[in-house]
Amino acid sequence: MDFVKTKDGSYTAFNQKYQEHYHALSGAIKEAKEKFYLPAGIKNGMKILDLGFGLGYNTAVTIHNHQDLRITALENDTSILKAISSLPKPKEYEKEFQLLKKLVKKKTLTDSAKNIIELIRGNAIDLIYTLPTSYYDRIYFAPFSQINQPEIWCVSVFSELCRILHKKGKMISYPCGKRIKKNLEQVGFKIIEPDQVNNRKFPLVAMKIKGSPLFG
């Protein structure tokens, strides 16, 4: 698999099926930090679902300087998982990517900070139905775009994501339009971050609210 260097010096890849890069060309590390990790407000001991694991940037950035996290990573593309072994490693996260390289072979690993990472291979739309109710504190929702992968940006999927979140848990994703926000609110989420302020796009942060028919 060919890698593409992004503007922050980290590398991404191009998915032929969805005709889309796995990360923004402005920076794979930058995207993981600014669009997922920082908005999520991660604390030690949290349980996190990384839906759309890809090359592992979101998980790598998340376990850096944290402990006792429990991360469940979902990924359907075997080729992108294999590519992790040859991915040029960002110096700051070299230790984390060495761990992820082993994860692809072992499926479950615990690092020196007692972070537990489980990699589950398969279609995320099917796999989320098998996950426990009211379990996760945070969900990184990182599939391909609504245009190229519309089947996952739907009410039935959002309903399951709401089900598996703990009360006041949060789902973090890319900026999205009014229709997606309406679908999220329909199943029990409250949008708690602006999609755009002063012409700058912010990530989507949706919190599971009390009073939802799916509230656990």
**What CATH number does the domain containing 165 carry?**
3.40.50.150
User: Is 78 part of a structural domain of the chain?
Assistant: yes
User: Is 13 part of a structural domain of the chain?
Assistant: no
User: Is 20 part of a structural domain of the chain?
Assistant: no
Task: Quote the domain boundaries for residue 168.
Answer: 39-208
- How many structural domains compose the chain? 1
- Predicted local confidence at residue 167, as pLDDT: 87
- Predicted local confidence at residue 2, as pLDDT: 87
User: Is 14 part of a structural domain of the chain?
Assistant: no
User: Is 214 part of a structural domain of the chain?
Assistant: no
User: Is 28 part of a structural domain of the chain?
Assistant: no
User: Is 32 part of a structural domain of the chain?
Assistant: no
Does residue 167 or residue 74 have the better pLDDT?
A: 74
Whose tokens are 């669009």? That residue is: 35
Task: Give per-residue pLDDT as tens, 170-210.
Answer: 999 988 888 999 999 999 999 986 554 444 467 899 999 86
Over the chain, what is the mean pLDDT?
92
- Predicted local confidence at residue 213, as pLDDT: 62
Whose tokens are 């996952």? That residue is: 152
User: Is 6 part of a structural domain of the chain?
Assistant: no
Whose tokens are 């407000």? That residue is: 41
User: What is Dmax (Cα atoms) for the chain?
Assistant: 47
